[in-house]
Amino acid sequence: MDVCTFPLWEGGAPGALGGADEDVPTLTVFLPAYNEGNGTAVIIAPGGAYRGLAMNHEGRQVADWFAEREVTPFVLKYRLGPKYVYPVPLQDAQRAVRLVRSLQGKYHLAADRVGMVGFSAGGHLAAMTGTSFDGGRPDAADPVERFSSRPDFLVLGYPWINAMQPAKAGMIDSYPTLMNIPKEKQAALEELYTPTRHVTAQTPPAFIFSTTDDKVVPAEASVEFYSALTKAGVSAELHLFRHGPHGVGLGKGDTALEHWPALLAAWLRDQGLLSKATPPK
C-alpha cells in the first residue's frame, strides 16, 4: 500500500507557534492496494481528548479497513491543546476537507463523496466539521480555499459530543477544564462548539455508534446528536451496544463490538459509497 504524508498548508499553518512536528498539521493518505479506489474518500480524525492522538487503532487500522473496501483514506494529524485550543483543531479539519476535495483529480476522487470519520475527541471534531462549514471562497488567492469544507457524510465512533459541556462530562473533564480555559469563557465555547446545537437540514448524513456503559463519554451525547439530526430531517443511523469500554477502535477481540464495522459497511453500501463513482461528464 502506497503511503504519503503532506502538510495541510504549504509554507506553514496559520497561527502556528513554531516549526516542530506538533505545529504542523498533516494528512497521510493510504492508497488502496489494487486499484485507484472507487471515488469515495474519508478523512479520519483519531481521538485522544484533544491532548494526544491514537494514531494506530483509531487511525492506521481504520485507514486499512477503508482501503480494503476501495475507499481512499486520509488520516488527519490535527493540532492539539493545551498549545492549540479551539478553534484551531476545527480550522485544521475544515482545511483537510477542502484539501482532499482539491485533490480529486490526483487521487481519482468524487468531489461529492468526501466523508469525515472521528473517534472520541476526533468524533467531536468530525461532528463540528459537519455542522460548521462553508462553500468555499471563489476569489481566494489560495486555490484550496475555493473548495467547500462540508463533509458529505459522517462516521462517529463513541464521539465526545459533549466535550464543551462541563455539566455533562463523563469520567474525564470537559475540554474547557482540560485546557485550563477561564470559567468566564466556557459558556461561549459551549455554545459555539457543541455540534448538537448547530444541526440543520444541511448537516451531512451520519453513522454513529457508542456503548451504553461507556464511562468516559456518556452515550447520551450520541443519542442527543442523533435526535437533533432526525428532527432536522437528516438521514442518520445510531447503534448503541450494551457493553464495551471507551476507545475500542474497530472492536477487535470483542465478540459484540467487532461487528460494528460490518454495520458501517452496510450503511456505506446503502449510501452508494462502496460502489464505483460515476465519472463527471
Go through the domains of the chain in sequence order and give each one's CATH number. 3-270 (3.40.50.1820)
Identify which of 199, 190, 183, 131 has the alpha carbon closest to the alpha carbon of residue 163. 190
Which of the 8 DSSP states describes residue 214? -
pLDDT of residue 1: 62
Q: What is the pLDDT of residue 189?
A: 94
**What is the reported pLDDT for 169?**
60
Query: pTM score, two decimals?
Result: 0.96
What confidence score (pLDDT) does residue 18 get? 95
The confidence score (pLDDT) of residue 279 equals: 61
User: What is the amino acid identity at position 136?
Assistant: G
Instruction: Give dist(CA 50, CA 78) in Å, integer.
Output: 9
CB 75 within 8 A of CB 113: no
Please name which of 65, 72, 70, 68 lies closest in space to residue 28, comparing C-alpha atoms. 72
**CB-based burial label for 33 (10 Å; 0-12, 13-18, 19+):** exposed
For 207, the 3-state DSSP assignment is strand
At residue 3, the pLDDT reads: 87
Per-residue pLDDT of the chain (281 residues; tens, 9 = 90+): 688 999 999 999 999 999 999 999 999 999 887 678 999 999 999 999 999 999 999 999 999 999 999 999 999 999 999 999 999 999 999 999 999 999 999 999 999 999 999 999 999 999 999 999 999 999 999 999 999 999 999 999 999 999 999 877 655 689 999 999 999 999 999 999 999 999 999 999 999 999 998 888 989 999 999 999 999 999 999 999 988 888 788 878 777 788 899 999 999 999 999 999 876 54
Q: Do β-strands 153-157 and 114-119 pair in parallel, antiparallel, or remain unpaired?
A: parallel
